[in-house]
Structure 1
Amino acid sequence: MTLALRYAARSDVGLVRHDNQDSAYAGPNLLVVADGMGGHAGGDIASSLAISALAPLDTPEHGPDQALQDLEETVERARQDLVHASEISPELAGMGTTVTALLRSGNTLAMAHLGDSRAYLLRDDKLTQVTVDHTFVQHLVDTGRISPDEAETHPQRNVVMRVLGDFDVDLTPDMSIREARAGDRWLLCSDGLSGFVPVDQITEVLARCESPDEAADMLITLAMTAGSTDNITVVVADLVDDETTPAAAPTETTQVVGAAATDVAAPVSRDTGTEPATTESAPADPADDADDEDDGTDDVRPKRRPWIGVLVLLLVLAGVGLGGWWAYGWTQDQYYLGVAEGQVAVYQGIPQDAGPLTLSRAVEVTDTSVDDLPAYWVERLDGSIRTGSLDEALERADRLAEEAAPTPVPSPSPSPSSSPSPSGSPRPDSSPSEEPAQAAEEGDA
């Protein structure tokens, strides 16, 4: 049996944040989620550098015994990149990021984990949280000092004790080997999802949605509906037997989302719904993930200098040993949904101009008017909705057309004396479980 990955990556700035400090990568052999520390200088740079360091691992050349070592060594290399970047640019000192990564090697998966991003495994309709949060509150739960229920509302629930950064804390990642089975569905996510959406709702979505794309979209929507005050990033991946399951063909296009997508392809700020990331002028406490959940606001911080984006771009290209022409070619393999003259449009490229070079063009302008869409989708389109391929972009455009379709108006009753039949109400979404969940599953990191 030959196993392959079928995957989808999504990232959204969320309802409150002004910038996206999350990054994610999904490829045929590698899945990564990195959540830049919201209260740290350069969280977006930190998560982008982590992705750029790990991306070269996305090859099928790792033997089962070598994959774990390769992954651990590359995480350390990412830390060194963060240190080097902060040395070049002192205002970035103190930046950090979580890292949760899966590297496929045959029928096994090597895993690295630092921080409070999470990995979940859906197997035989049962969802298991595979990672353990590296948070102060989780430590209190593990040592019996507080209960899981108390952890839900603990004032220090956002303090992360172990992350990838340029500061002197425990940076040793949790490393493990996981069995890969056909039919498994993996979810990697930032705490913008896991901190706001109950695990039973996550389970329902993963079990119900047929494709990773559908599941990823639904999870983002759930987090937004739940009022997530953080960036939201998910990677959903299915393990499939590509020899016997032609209908579930593996994904072949690499997907990069969040800050890494902006920084890799856009050294100059772009005009989208996700604003360019910013940095603080002074380093923050490296152990404190200041997510600002309580007040729902971001600190006012100065814009980072434009050359910081260029620095990230150069580091990415150096990490993969490729040049500018490769970078341009990569942009032309990307597709997204945007707006053209008030209509939903499918674009090839990325929503960014690099100096005089335009990196995108509309390949199809649909008949769907943006004015007919719900406000949530209008906001998503303003920031561009990335897709993995042209076919996927066209399919999602069709779905938006259905969203914009007017609701049929019922015909008036022919008899004024007849009473209208009560209309059925839609089935509400699953509500949070009344039973307190373990902090390792529901803890707000």
Structure 2
Amino acid sequence: MTSIELPQGVLRLSVTSSTDVGSVRRVNEDALLADDLLLAVADGMGGHARGDLASATAVDALRANAPTAIGAVDAVFDLVEAANAAVRGLDVGGALCGTTLTGLTLVRPEEAGPVRWALFNVGDSRVYRWDGSAMQQLTVDHSAVQELVSAGLLTRELAETHPDRNIVTRALGADDAVETDVWTLPVVPRASYLLCSDGLTRELSDERIAALFERRDAGEIAAVDLARTLVREAVDAGGRDNVTVVVVDAVLDPRA
């Protein structure tokens, strides 16, 4: 449990994580970061040169540049740019080397204003929020099938089995400049956040993921075991890809 002093109160964070190579792949190309002020999941691009090296390099760059204090939103873009530069600098003999990156941190958009959550995303790894009754996907996949879904040409259900479902349209390492989605959200009194690679969401529906959070809330699954349970269920359901999960439980004790 980590306690962070915010202008609006004390934020108490509990973070758990888990990763598994899955049942098919020989190498785990996922990487994760679970720092006090910075959390992230990276999924190395399968089929390209050293996806494991790309994801690890991106996470190492985040760790090296992790904030020691809550900063401005611009700092989030700088973090992702540094990670992209690190991946671009890898020596893989001229081959394409890339990774997704999604994450969560705290920012203060206005000097005198409240601290907010900042989500950042490049690729098709995801961030969800569980509010105790509903699971909401907060990030938007940068993928070929998501573009079809957004255009109304494909349902989310059909997207899960579409032959182009593994094609991402943005990734770290693809270009010198990276286009990053960043959103800020209020720090609410109580919420859980799930960061995951697509190895989880390929095997478990959003409804099944929500059901496991409900079981955690009911005491049927220990909080410290939820991340491992999510990963284990994804592997048992087929494990066609590496599976990585970070779960953040956040409780705000407001100032009187």
Query: Does the aligned pair in 2 maintain the 1:29–1:105 contact within 8 Å?
Result: no
C-alpha separation between the residues in 2 aligned to 1:199 and 1:162? 23
Which segment drifts farther, 141-150 or 68-77?
A: 141-150
Among candidates 77, 81, 84, match of residue 76 of structure 1: 81
For residue 18 of structure 1, what is the aligned residue in structure 2? Answer: 26
For residue 239 of structure 1, what is the aligned residue in structure 2? Answer: 250
For residue 317 of structure 1, what is the aligned residue in structure 2? Answer: none
Secondary structure in 2 matching 1:96: coil
Secondary structure in 2 matching 1:192: helix
RMSD: 2.0
Residue 50 of structure 1: how far off its partner (Å): 0.8
Secondary structure in 1 matching 2:17: strand
TM-score, normalization by structure 2: 0.86
Residue 103 of structure 1: how far off its partner (Å): 1.0
Residue 147 of structure 1: how far off its partner (Å): 3.1
% of aligned pairs identical? 38
C-alpha separation between the residues in 2 aligned to 1:35 and 1:232? 9
C-alpha separation between the residues in 2 aligned to 1:105 and 1:159? 31
Among candidates 130, 152, 164, match of residue 156 of structure 1: 164
- In structure 2, the CA distance between the partners of 1:149 and 1:57, relative to structure 1 (3 Å rule), is same
C-alpha separation between the residues in 2 aligned to 1:9 and 1:84? 28
Query: Does the aligned pair in 2 maintain the 1:216–1:234 contact within 8 Å?
Result: yes
Matched letter for residue 101 of structure 2: V
The yes-or-no answer on 1:223 pairing with 2:234 is yes
C-alpha separation between the residues in 2 aligned to 1:5 and 1:59? 16
For residue 90 of structure 1, what is the aligned residue in structure 2? Answer: 93
Among candidates 186, 191, 211, match of residue 204 of structure 1: 211
Query: Does the aligned pair in 1 maintain the 2:132–2:214 contact within 8 Å?
Result: no
- In structure 2, the CA distance between the partners of 1:167 and 1:222, relative to structure 1 (3 Å rule), is same
For residue 5 of structure 2, what is the aligned residue in structure 1? Answer: none
The yes-or-no answer on 1:126 pairing with 2:134 is yes
Larger relative strand fraction: 2
For residue 322 of structure 1, what is the aligned residue in structure 2? Answer: none
Residue 5 of structure 1: how far off its partner (Å): 1.6
C-alpha separation between the residues in 2 aligned to 1:44 and 1:150? 29
- In structure 2, the CA distance between the partners of 1:115 and 1:198, relative to structure 1 (3 Å rule), is same
For residue 155 of structure 2, what is the aligned residue in structure 1? Answer: 147
Q: Deviations over 1:263-299 (max 9, x none)?
A: xxxxxxxxxxxxxxxxxxxxxxxxxxxxxxxxxxxxx
Query: Does the aligned pair in 2 maintain the 1:30–1:57 contact within 8 Å?
Result: no
Residue 212 of structure 1: how far off its partner (Å): 4.2
C-alpha separation between the residues in 1 aligned to 2:116 and 2:12? 11
TM-score, normalization by structure 1: 0.51
State how 1:30-429 maps to structure 2 within 5 Å. 30-63=38-71, 66=72, 68-86=73-91, 89-90=92-93, 93-105=95-107, 107-167=115-175, 171-210=178-217, 212-241=223-252
C-alpha separation between the residues in 1 aligned to 2:56 and 2:69? 24
Residue 60 of structure 1: how far off its partner (Å): 4.5
Larger CA Rg, structure 1 vs 2: 1
For residue 111 of structure 2, what is the aligned residue in structure 1? Answer: none
Matched letter for residue 74 of structure 1: L
C-alpha separation between the residues in 1 aligned to 2:133 and 2:12? 20
Aligned length in residues: 237
Matched letter for residue 104 of structure 1: L
Matched letter for residue 165 of structure 1: G
Residue 102 of structure 1: how far off its partner (Å): 0.6
C-alpha separation between the residues in 2 aligned to 1:60 and 1:3? 16
Residue 150 of structure 1: how far off its partner (Å): 2.9
User: Larger relative CO (CA 8 A, sep 6+): 1 or 2?
Assistant: 2
Secondary structure in 1 matching 2:162: coil
Secondary structure in 1 matching 2:190: coil
Instruction: Structure 1: state its 5+ residue gaps.
Output: 245-445
Q: Deviations over 1:60-90 (max 9, x none)?
A: 5123xx1x2111111111111112113xx42
Instruction: Structure 2: state its 5+ residue gaps.
Output: 1-8, 109-114
For residue 3 of structure 2, what is the aligned residue in structure 1? Answer: none
Q: Deviations over 1:211-267 (max 9, x none)?
A: 5421101101110121121000000001124799xxxxxxxxxxxxxxxxxxxxxxx
C-alpha separation between the residues in 2 aligned to 1:215 and 1:189? 13
For residue 424 of structure 1, what is the aligned residue in structure 2? Answer: none
